[in-house]
Homo-oligomer: A and B are copies of this chain.
């Protein structure tokens, strides 16, 4: 199984239309094309949709080392609202220790403007994941 196939089993990310496009240990990129289903009652992309996009990129980047990492905490900063277009999240390792890993993901729109900043920590377990290390 590839890591892409593994993360295709993330049903909630699939529901949100998130697609993983590039993964290696410590790095991942994911995209989401905004549709009316992503909008909140005010007509802009719901924070939970943006979180889900960033979180999948983070999950892929931290799990790409091959052992299961579970999320401890995430902080997300919303910088601008938008209602259409393609959003991209790039997750990058800040520090990957034996037990704790911290990552940052930046969400941008098609013009390259920063839409959200996401920082997260995960706990790395002694559980080997069922995919070939990318």
Residues in chain A within 8 A of chain B (CB atoms): 6-13, 15-16, 36-42, 45-49, 51-53, 55-56, 59, 68, 70-81, 94-95, 97, 99-100, 102, 104, 114, 117, 119, 121, 123
A sample of 30 inter-chain contacts (CB < 8 A) reads: A6-B41, A7-B41, A8-B41, A9-B40, A10-B40, A10-B41, A11-B40, A11-B46, A15-B16, A40-B59, A41-B59, A42-B70, A46-B55, A48-B49, A48-B55, A52-B52, A70-B81, A72-B78, A72-B121, A73-B73, A74-B76, A75-B119, A76-B76, A77-B121, A79-B97, A80-B95, A95-B114, A99-B99, A117-B119, A123-B123
